[in-house]
Amino acid sequence: MMTSLVLTVIGPDKPGLVEMLAQTISDHQGNWLESGMSRLAGKFAGILIAQVPTDKADQLSAALQELDGQGLKITVEKTADSSEAARKTFTLELVGHDKPGIVRDISQALAKRKVNVERLNTEVVSGSMSAELLFKAEAELSADPATDLNALQEDLEAIANDLMVDITLN
């Protein structure tokens, strides 16, 4: 029997951190399944899912906690196997001048329509035609099949006009 673990990891960025995590997981007969990792403000930050034999899960959790001595703070959560109901999936892309409140306003509109954010990537970049900063976001979303996507689109268009950003819902 296998147990899935969700790990969150943060620490000072330096070469070898991913290898250290992978080796620790492998040493406990674990399998690295899915991950997202980035260097943010000089820190290594990541989240990953590993699967390990159930009788090795506590040992792996303890070994990961020992990596604190290497500067990594790791949180380990066991996941419950749950079958999800069918959901429709779609994407959101946003580009506009950077200003506070963009993520707050968009996430409020999504929550109002009970839309789940499956994955969110954001960045601030310099505009190609000017030195102004542009905020870009890409999100993978899911919702109950009965969700009115036209109403969501209208909500997002109103926000886009207020924030002066372009939002595309696919």
In angstroms, the CA 166 to CA 94 distance is 6
The pLDDT of 107-131, averaged and rounded, is 91
Task: Please list the residue range(s) of the chain that carry CATH number 3.30.70.260.
Answer: 2-78, 88-169
In angstroms, the CA 50 to CA 71 distance is 21
For residue 82, the model assigns a pLDDT of 56
In this structure, are residues 73 and 9 in contact, taking their beta carbons and an 8 Å threshold?
Answer: yes
| pTM metric for this prediction | 0.79
Residue 99: burial class (beta carbons within 10 Å; 0-12, 13-18, 19+): exposed
Strands (E), 42-115: 43-53, 73-78, 88-97
In angstroms, the CA 97 to CA 95 distance is 7
Within its chain, how far is the Cα of 70 from the centroid? Answer: 24
2-78 is classed CATH 3.10.129.10: no
What's the pLDDT tens digit per position in 36-78?
A: 999 999 999 999 999 999 999 999 999 999 999 888 999 999 9
For residue 130, the model assigns a pLDDT of 74
88-169 is classed CATH 3.30.70.260: yes
Q: What is the DSSP letter of 56?
A: G
